[in-house]
A and B are shown apart, each in its own frame.
Chain A
Amino acid sequence: MDKFTTLSGVAAPLPIHNLDTDKIFPAIYLKTIKRTGLAQFLFQEIRFRPDGSENPDFVLNQAPYRKAQILIGAENFGCGSSREHAPWALLDYGIRCVIAPSFADIFYNNCFKNGILPIKVPKEIADELMEDAKKGANAVMTIDLEAQTISRPDGEKVHFEVDAFRKHCLLNGLDDIGLTEQKETDIGAYEQKAQMQRPWQFGMTQKGA
């Protein structure tokens, strides 16, 4: 996973409430067995017209936003399906940060696993950032994860909250599994204790065990 330290770039406004992961990444493309090269399917239904040409009304098809690295979203961003293909496709497109007043839990979690920083900000701030983002090429924002700040185009800094463990992993590009493997002694001890207390749950998927 790539580290996330600071990011400066154009922010694209995407004021769609309850933007679900089916809309971010349609189910039909879940047949893939890869996690790369998925940007082509990102937002497909709203990004392309039925004949396959670009929908000029969609924000990422507009000149200043084609290379956007930040999305400003609306409430309950990423709701619905748990598909990690949604953050994979965002990342493949070049999006490294999504800012919204609220996120669905699974999507929020999935972002961190892929080097994308989801930032929850109060509704009033999100509304202001949405207005900033509408200014197009003049809407450069800077995210500083260490300092936990968003610098708005006018230079004003907005503080944001992020869980310290996730911040640590993102700043250092750490693989969760590797970290957990360092707790092998704890896991082994837990399993021993659990096997005493709940023996029927061990070997359980082996029929007749």
Chain B
Amino acid sequence: MPQPKTLFDKIWDAHVIAPQGEGTYLIYIDLHLIHEVTTPQAFEGLKLAGRKVRRPDKTMAVADHNIPTTNRSAGVNGIIEPDSKIQVELLEKNVKEFGVPYFPITSLDQGIVHVIGPEQGLSQPGMTIVCGDSHTATHGAMGALAFGIGTSEVEHVLATQTLIQAPAQNMLIDVNGALGAGVSPKDVILAIIAKIGTAGGTGHVFEYAGSTFRDMSMEGRMTVCNMSIEAGARAGLVAPDEKTVAYVKGRPFAPKGAAWEQAEAYWRTLPSDPGSKFDKEAHLAAADIAPHVTWGTNPEQAAPVTGRVPDPAQIDDPLKRAAVERALQYMQLAPNTLLTDVPVQRVFIGSCTNSRIEDLRAAAAIAKGRKVADGVTALVVPGSGHVKHQAEEEGLDRIFVEAGFQWRDAGCSMCMSMNDDKAMNGERVATTSNRNFEGRQGKNAKSHLMGPAMAAAAAITGHLSDVRQMG
């Protein structure tokens, strides 16, 4: 009997080109997604060494991090901030010079790199996918081994279509049961991170298994996989199943005809074999997961929205106590405050975590017929041109605008606030993005992570709110 293999093992084994010695291997990369922020220095390196892009046919470029979410029909000329404009212009120049396919910022195909990969059918089961962005794990929802890399590695992949890597260990994240009303995939991943910690997955690749993920939509799986890095794992995977196959079929870059038959047959061999061994495991019951919000300055510092801000005095471990004290000081929160008593001044619905059509529908269902609270600025930033178009077809834009939300063009926007979308003067933000780090959304900005319906609820009430109470 051959040793049972996990999904990760199977993808890894299929991509080893040669051992590099001492536990490292040269592995092949099937798809390389690139964007404007982490590639200028990589292309510069190629030019200095006189190298070419080895496989433009396995590379796709898009600008997303550093572009405005208004006045996009003006194209690059609509970018007012000079450094941002230079970066996008440079990407356009580089992709032209090196022959790399590119979705221009005026195109409906443009969007956040981790939204458009699956949307276009580029991200497929069994692939190795890399991008100079830590949220590349999103594509793991397709059953692909997808992880973020630094710019030196971007250059390495551009030049050779390979990477030097050590294999990761396998970690099973097992969640079973039906999610309660008002509980979203975002709450599932926040609960997982709160349980295992921001470094709980370091050196590991997650496989999300159990009925909760089987029953989850493809977009929900993307939300979950997206935040694998926030638990320290470079990648997170969901085994391809009927939903995966149905999702990929017919998308612009999906295989067609005989190639489709061959691809589908291959994808069906990928799920972990029965009896596969995992180096680490975590188990949660879906029924125990309530809508979550973060109260601190890393994604592990999360709690059910029905709870209170923790009290450092109740924490015995001096290091943990100090970390909570520091977080509460930055967040300007008093111990034991009811989370639903925490006011917000800004709301952001978007990012590679939660900007897909299902996210916008969930937020619109709460916003419908209501008004954004006085003193709250709320942005909805769709994940791609196609998501925006779809939402407009469904009338979601009108719901948001009538409620007082701003309806924007696709991009990373306030997730990391490289463009003009940011929290001002230390505002407190209800955000559907993935990181609540100090200063991430603006100077002294205080970020509370949550799902899209929860963020919409916070916009309406003006404070953190339990979406289940919104009727």
**How many residues of chain A get a CB closer than 8 Å to chain B's CBs?**
59
| B148 interface residue per 8 A CB criterion | yes
Nearest CB on A from B430, distance (A): 19
Which residues of B240-272 are within 8 A (CB) of A?
252-253, 255, 259-260, 262-263, 266
Which residues of A41-86 are within 8 A (CB) of B?
45, 75-76, 79-84
Is the CB–CB distance between B122 and A204 below 8 Å? Answer: yes
27 A/B residue pairs, CB under 8 Å, sorted by A: A22-B435, A22-B437, A22-B439, A23-B439, A27-B417, A28-B417, A30-B37, A31-B418, A34-B40, A80-B435, A82-B149, A83-B37, A83-B38, A83-B150, A165-B24, A176-B156, A177-B156, A177-B160, A180-B26, A180-B164, A181-B159, A187-B28, A191-B28, A191-B161, A194-B28, A201-B30, A201-B31
Which residues of A186-206 are within 8 A (CB) of B?
186-187, 190-191, 194, 197-206
| CA–CA, A120 and B151, complex, Å | 23
Is the CB–CB distance between A207 and B57 below 8 Å? Answer: no
Known contacts A204-B122, A205-B253: A183-B18 contact under CB 8 Å: yes
Contacts of B416 in A (CB 8 A): 22, 27, 81
Residues of chain A touching chain B, judged by Cβ–Cβ distance below 8 Å, are 17-18, 20, 22-23, 26-28, 30-35, 45, 75-76, 79-84, 87, 102-106, 109-110, 113-114, 163-166, 176-177, 180-181, 183, 186-187, 190-191, 194, 197-207, 209
| CA–CA, A198 and B156, complex, Å | 23
**How many residues of chain B get a CB closer than 8 Å to chain A's CBs?**
80
Contacts of A20 in B (CB 8 A): 298, 435, 437
Contacts of A82 in B (CB 8 A): 38, 132-134, 148-150
Is the CB–CB distance between A105 and B202 below 8 Å? Answer: yes
Given contacts A109-B149, A177-B160, A204-B122, 14 further A-B contacts (CB under 8 A): A22-B437, A27-B416, A27-B417, A31-B83, A33-B86, A75-B199, A81-B435, A82-B149, A84-B150, A103-B202, A200-B124, A204-B57, A205-B57, A205-B58
Nearest CB on B from A159, distance (A): 17
Of the candidates A104, A109, A201, A203, the one whose C-beta lies within 8 Å of that of B153 is: A109
> Which of B59-67, B180-188, B304-312, B449-457 lies at the binding interface?
B59-67
Is the CB–CB distance between A22 and B255 below 8 Å? Answer: no
| B162 interface residue per 8 A CB criterion | yes
Known contacts A22-B438, A82-B148, A113-B150: A200-B259 contact under CB 8 Å: yes
Closest to A22 in B: B437
Of the candidates A26, A33, A76, the one whose C-beta lies within 8 Å of that of B202 is: A76
Of the candidates B81, B133, B232, B438, the one whose C-beta lies within 8 Å of that of A79 is: B232
Is the CB–CB distance between A30 and B418 below 8 Å? Answer: yes
Is the CB–CB distance between A114 and B152 below 8 Å? Answer: yes
Is the CB–CB distance between A165 and B57 below 8 Å? Answer: no
| CA–CA, A76 and B51, complex, Å | 35
Contacts of B126 in A (CB 8 A): 198
Contacts of A87 in B (CB 8 A): 150
